[in-house]
Structure 1
Amino acid sequence: MSTDQKIPDPSTAPRVRGRDKGIKIFMWPKVIYIFPSAVVSLICAIGMWALPDKEYDPSRGPEVVTAAGENAEVVRVDSPKADVPTADGSTKAPGAPITRRERFNTPQNLLGVLFLVVLGFNLVVMGLDFPRFELIGLILAILFTTFFVLWLGSYFDLDLLRPINAMLGSIYVFANAGFYLMYFTMVMIVLAIVYVTRWLDYWEIMPNEILHHHGPLSDLERYPTLNLKFDKEIPDVLEYLLLGAGRLVLQVPNMERAIILENVLFISSKEEALKRLMSRLDVRITTDKDDPLI
């Protein structure tokens, strides 16, 4: 009876599906958080396209053409009470004057305010970090301030809505559909460039090693994954709410400094994938053809 062990044929050895596939991790710049304003700009462009001849201040009246041909002249009616001259020489009343509050509620102004508010929110997200407890403290401070101001108005019988209405009435911003469409196009071009150039610097975590690809010629650095430790951090709650972004800290053995991967999108799913990947270690017996036997 022979006791020699037979080495299995590499061609017939079963392959583990997805054994060589790792987890690719990209670090994104903060400019990607500008995408909500791009979406709103597209909505505003459609809204202004559906509102022709609304690119003027309704409290001052529209611009009208008084004649045709070479003698054409554009005249702005400063008072809505005045008659508006038309191209055929007749006059036409533009209607009753509107108040500042009615002007603020015009569709073109509401679209402009919406765009600026979302753009301002995007800039705050990009420029500041809001940790979890600081954001909760900020919300509580705003609520307390609002309650205190309302209490003062009720106690001293103050009309606090009058200055608010006056401030809102002084706001009138609008842009035509072309402006919103150009803003949307520019942001999409920037995001497309960011999406393509992400391959210039990214990390790939394999069961046995960590690969750092960087540079235009894809320079490669290798790190072992044996005894690898990693932590997930959420430095900004707003970024996490927008795209699930966070920070991934890799503690590689025999390295003085940890590898910090900033602004990783959908970091919770990356964490779960890393847990599954680190739960096993590939052990291979290979031939000259580098085909796994075990």
Structure 2
Amino acid sequence: MADDSNMSNEQEPNQASHKDDTPSSIYLISYPKIVFLYPTLIVSIVAAIFMSIAGESAHIGGNREHMAEVMALIFLVVFGLNITVLAFDFPRTTSLTLFFLGVAIFMGIWMLLRFNPDIVPALTNFLKSLRPWANSQMYWMFSGILGLIFVGVGISVRFDYWEVKGNELLHHHGFLSDLERFSAPNLKIDKEISDIFEYILLRSGRLVLHPRNEPRAIVLDNVPFISKKEKQITRMLGALQVQVRPESH
């Protein structure tokens, strides 16, 4: 009898901690793809601050290379990579292969032109002639425009989101807080990560919900921290299934 009581005492704290780990409500928000441009926004703000402090005529060390050109190149590279992430999907296997292949090709061409500038003089002269330039006002304006879009996205998602709570799946939408209710028990969940770079940027992916007695699935794209959300929902539904299980006599 003593052993049974000890075992029950050990199980109760474990069950209590397990319940504490499960939140009472889990919010699911589907974001537009523009949120993946936050690295470009960060670089633009940093460039705007630097150019405002250092000035457009700042040089690098003793060289006569304008800092504005270097900042412009950094901005364009980050912006180009961000646009590529938005434009294409990179599955896990092919994306890594393409990434390392692109890096190898770029490094090979750069080293070839670095140590043999006369091998392709036209290309070398073309690269040397590339001297992009932008002042602080351009970076501030770009940051302001993109920042306002981010604020608009943050406001809009507050009027369209999903909530897993108790035995229900709730859809909040509209300016008047319209509400749709779905049954949460026996809810089937599918998690899809089709783009590794989007997952790296925001740990995001696609979440497909299959409520009971509903003919169509609910597809939520670009859900941040999708693995954490999926584990929380699975844990909550598992707890609900235990609670609604009939008592055995």
Shorter-chain TM band: 0.7 to 0.9
| Closer, same or farther: CA 113–143 of 1 in aligned 2, 3 Å | closer
Q: Report whether the alignment pairs 1:123 with 2:126.
A: no
Q: 2:45 aligns with which of 38, 42, 45?
A: 42
Alignment-derived partner of residue 81 in structure 1: none
Residue identity over aligned pairs, in percent, reads: 36
Q: Report whether the alignment pairs 1:196 with 2:155.
A: yes
Which of structures 1 and 2 has the bigger CA Rg?
1
Alignment-derived partner of residue 3 in structure 2: none
Report the CA distance between 1:233 and its aligned residue: 0.9
Q: Report whether the alignment pairs 1:187 with 2:146.
A: yes
Gaps of 5+ in 2: 1-18, 245-249
Q: How does 1:136-285 map to 2 (within 5 A)?
A: 136-142=96-102, 160=119, 162-281=121-240
Letter in 2 for 1:112: A
Answer whether contact 2:117 2:124 (CA < 8 A) is retained.
no
Cα deviation digits, residues 139-192 of structure 1 (max 9, x gap): 354367569879xx7xxx995575553232111111111111121122111111
Q: Report whether the alignment pairs 1:111 with 2:71.
A: yes
Letter in 2 for 1:136: L
Q: Distance in 1 between matches of 2:221 and 2:40?
A: 23
Alignment-derived partner of residue 4 in structure 1: none
TM-score, length of structure 2 as denominator length: 0.76
Q: Distance in 1 between matches of 2:171 and 2:101?
A: 44
Cα deviation digits, residues 53-107 of structure 1 (max 9, x gap): 529xx9xxxxxxxxxxxxxxxxxxxxxxxxxxxxxxxxxxxxxxxxxxx77x431
Alignment-derived partner of residue 24 in structure 2: 21
Answer whether contact 1:209 1:223 (CA < 8 A) is retained.
yes
| Closer, same or farther: CA 140–180 of 1 in aligned 2, 3 Å | closer
Answer whether contact 1:33 1:126 (CA < 8 A) is retained.
yes
Answer whether contact 1:48 1:176 (CA < 8 A) is retained.
yes
Match of 1:253, SS?
coil
Q: Distance in 2 between matches of 1:201 and 1:50?
A: 41
Match of 1:173, SS?
coil
Match of 1:223, SS?
strand
Cα deviation digits, residues 87-141 of structure 1 (max 9, x gap): xxxxxxxxxxxxxxx77x4311011111111111221222221111221332354
How many pairs align? 220
Report the CA distance between 1:21 and its aligned residue: 2.8
Alignment-derived partner of residue 51 in structure 1: 54
Report the CA distance between 1:17 and its aligned residue: 7.7
Runs (4 or more) in structure 1 with deviation over 4 Å come to 16-20, 143-150, 157-164
Answer whether contact 2:118 2:124 (CA < 8 A) is retained.
no
Q: Distance in 1 between matches of 2:200 and 2:54?
A: 34
Letter in 2 for 1:138: L
Which one has the bigger helix percentage?
Answer: 2
Q: How does 1:88-107 map to 2 (within 5 A)?
A: 105-107=65-67
Q: Distance in 1 between matches of 2:119 and 2:35?
A: 39
| Closer, same or farther: CA 121–139 of 1 in aligned 2, 3 Å | closer
| Closer, same or farther: CA 117–17 of 1 in aligned 2, 3 Å | closer
Q: Distance in 2 between matches of 1:133 and 1:193?
A: 35
Answer whether contact 1:207 1:280 (CA < 8 A) is retained.
no
Q: Distance in 2 between matches of 1:267 and 1:47?
A: 35
